[in-house]
Structure 1
Amino acid sequence: MESRRLSSRFLWIINRQICVPSKFTAIDLTGGSGQTKYEFQSAALVVVTVFFALASSTLAFEEGSSRCPDKFESVVSHAERMAPISVQQATFAAGCFWSVELAFQRAMGVTKTAVGYTQGHKENPSYEDVCTGRTGHVEAVLVEYNPNEVTYEQLLDVFWKKHDPTQLNRQGNDVGTQYRSGIYYHTPEQETAAKASLQEWETKLGKKIHTEILPATTFYPAEDYHQQYLEKGGRNGRKQSARKGCSDPIRCYG
């Protein structure tokens, strides 16, 4: 009986004291440490699930069981599986960010993307500011991905295949330092992988690659109309699929 009263009291405390926001920040667009910030409702669910498992096992023990039931272990195991998976971030620049973003949207394991400006010296630049080529920024894509579904090395392959890294400060008809090729690492492991990948692709292409590899700095999100631009259809309304695994040619138009 006492255990039941404690259970009721504990549930009241959970209900009154645990406050879990209904929204979470999926991509840290402010740069800084490059770490993703999360506020997960599932954390409270895990706490409640484990509590009920403990309460059930306690009651069973009081009623004469010689040990905690096996069901308790399976419930705890399930609760552990419910724990949120930590996603990681990667930042790439490969010309006009519209088409680069769509390429990563289609990649398996990528959970979110955002286009924006990074590596410059002006705070909160506009698209017009960056287009002058005087702010030092590059058009880039911030990628959030699940490392259990896709590796950073696989994302690097998407990057290399999407553009011509042997071109300096341009991609096709888009000319200027804002269209330069770049990999901006968030961790030492990403730096190591990026440099090894560059050497591999330089050998494969047989030409000098002009891709810069630098630490990720503050990422300023571009204006809303730039986000998922090709998926939304651009000015002409010609939508392009962002379906995972889609291999349709990507057409970059204004």
Structure 2
Amino acid sequence: MLLLRTTTTSSSSFHSSLPLLLIAASHSSSLSLPKLSTNPLFTPLHTPTKKMNLLAKLGFSTRSPTEPSVEPSSSSSLPQGPDEDIPAPGQQFAQFGAGCFWGVELAFQRVSGVTKTEVGYTQGLLHNPTYEDICSGTTNHSEVVRVQYDPKEGSYEALLDAFWQRHDPTTLNRQGNDVGTQYRSGIYFYTPEQEKAALESKDRHQKLLNRTIVTEILPAKKFYRAEDYHQQYLEKGGRFGFKQSADKGCNDPIRCYG
């Protein structure tokens, strides 16, 4: 005679119950136990690795409660805006367009707190433009200087002052004899703080002028570094080979073409 009874047990890996079959047989009975299912859906997850993988897929943290969390270092540099590179640790980027970028770069090289300058193109329609491309007047790029500066050594406001002093912000798409959209006046901000400072600075300078400032203040777009021969052009000697000082605090007049 057989005595059949079912009970349930709860598996740590499943929320459903599975029946167990208990069999009691007399000495004259000859029964074989049923085979356990090989269906992978009912394969218990006994190993810690499988359990942690399942938790990870469900979006739960698999970090041990005793495992210390790792916070990003405060000295690390964070990405700013759309550029592919990042500023040095503890430093920031700023972008300015104020006419031909040769003279503008030298002006910023002389500002305290500036640790690096690069000239390039931004705000246009073409990916990775060349100087010839932007000179065609069809790409809408602006010639800009991207400044890397240390906020502990110099302020963004000091950069803004150098920007206003370097050019005439009331002439549209023109600085002196240089005419075209690539020479337009622009401040391209990387952070909300830079935007706020730029707008406030523009308002202050507008009160000092009789004509309307036409400077555009826009979010920074991807910076495309100009060809090597444009970099630090005037410091290296420019067109005529006469080097101009990039020393901090230098007030020598800047010769636009060298």
Same fold (TM over 0.5): yes
Higher alpha-carbon deviation: 200-209 or 182-191:
200-209
Q: Which amino acid aligns with 2:167?
A: H
Q: For the Cα contact (< 8 Å) 1:95–1:180, is it kept in 2? A: yes
Query: Which of 198, 218, 233 is residue 202 of structure 2 equivalent to?
Result: 198
Secondary structure of 1:230's partner?
helix
The Cα of 1:36 is off from its aligned counterpart by 2.0
Q: Cα distance, 1:176 vs. partner?
A: 0.3
Instruction: Say whether 1:94 aligns with 2:98.
Output: yes
For residue 118 of structure 1, what is the aligned residue in structure 2?
Answer: 122
String of CA shifts for 1:20-77, please: whole Å, max 9, x gaps.
xxxxxx9x8x961587255xxxxxxxxxxxxxxxxxxxxxxxxxxxxxxxxxxxxxxx
2:109 — aligned with what? 105
1:235 Cα deviation after fit? 2.7
What residue identity is the alignment partner of 2:107? A
Secondary structure, in 3 states, of the residue corresponding to 1:234?
coil
Tell whether the 8 Å contact from 1:110 to 1:143 is kept in structure 2 after alignment: yes
In the alignment, what sits opposite 1:140?
144
**Aligned match of 1:242:** 246
If you compute each CA radius of gyration, which structure gives the higher value, 1 or 2?
2
AA matched with 2:132:
E
Q: 2:169 aligns with which of 165, 172, 182?
A: 165
Does structure 1 conserve the Cα–Cα contact (< 8 Å) formed by 2:187 and 2:198?
yes
CA distance 1:118–1:33, change in 2 (3 Å) = closer
Q: Distance in 2 between matches of 1:201 and 1:108?
A: 22
RMSD of aligned C-alpha atoms? Answer: 2.0
In the TM superposition, 1:1-254 aligns within 5 A as: 32=82, 36=86, 38=88, 86-253=90-257
Q: 2 CA distance for matches of 1:31 and 1:133?
A: 25
- The normalised TM-score by structure 1 is 0.68
Write out per-residue CA displacement over residues 163-208 of structure 1, whole angstroms, 9 at most, x where no aligned residue: 0001000000000000000000000000001011111101111320
Q: Look up the SS of the partner of 1:199 in the other structure.
A: helix
- 8 A contact 2:98–2:167 mirrored in 1: yes
SS in 1 for 2:218: strand
User: Which has a greater percent of helix?
Assistant: 1
Q: Residue 207 of structure 2: SS of its match in structure 1?
A: helix
Deviation at 1:118, TM superposition (A): 0.3
Look up the SS of the partner of 1:246 in the other structure.
coil
Q: Higher strand proportion, which one? A: 2
| Alpha carbons 1:101, 1:141 under 8 Å: kept | yes
Given that residues 87 and 93 in structure 2 are in contact (C-alpha distance below 8 angstroms), is that contact kept between their aligned partners in structure 1?
no
Q: Cα offset for 1:234?
A: 1.4
What SS is found at the alignment partner of 1:99?
A: helix
| Structure 2 alignment gaps of length 5 or more | 1-76
Asked whether the equivalents of residues 107 and 166 of structure 2 are also in contact (C-alpha less than 8 Å), the reply is: yes
In structure 1, runs of 5+ residues without a counterpart are 1-25, 39-84
Flag the 1:172–1:224 CA change in 2: closer, same or farther, 3 A: same
Normalising by structure 2, report the TM-score: 0.67
Secondary structure at the counterpart of residue 147 of structure 1:
coil
SS at match of 1:205: coil
CA distance in 1, matches of 2:91, 2:164: 22
For the 8 Å contact 2:83–2:223, the answer to whether it is kept is no
In 1, distance between residues paired with 2:84 and 2:150? 15
- Once residues 204 and 154 of structure 1 are traced to their aligned partners in structure 2, the CA distance between those partners, rounded to angstroms, is 18
Amino acid across the alignment from 2:169: P
Q: What code does the residue aligned with 1:204 have?
A: L
Aligned counterparts of 2:171 and 2:84: Cα–Cα separation in 1: 28
